[in-house]
Amino acid sequence: MKPLVQFKYVKSRSELELSRAGASRRALDEEARNTTYWRNDLYHVARRVFPDSPLVQLNIRRRDGRPIFRDWRHFQAIKNQLVGEECEGIELYPAESRLVDTSNKYHLWCHTDSRFRFPVGFDYRDLKDVDPKRNRLPGLRQRKLGAPR
What does pLDDT average to in each consecutive run of 10 residues of the chain (149 residues)? 62 50 59 86 92 95 87 91 96 92 90 95 78 62 59
Give the pLDDT confidence score for residue 67 in this predicted structure: 86
Give the pLDDT confidence score for residue 32 in this predicted structure: 77
Between the CA of residue 14 and those of 11, 20, 22, 29, 128, what are the distances in Å? Answer: 9, 10, 16, 14, 39
Give the residue extent of every domain in the chain. 8-111
Residues 35, 30: Cα–Cα separation, whole Å: 9
Rg (CA), the chain: 17
Sheet with 89-90: list strands edge to edge.
8-10, 35-39, 43-49, 55-62, 105-111, 89-90
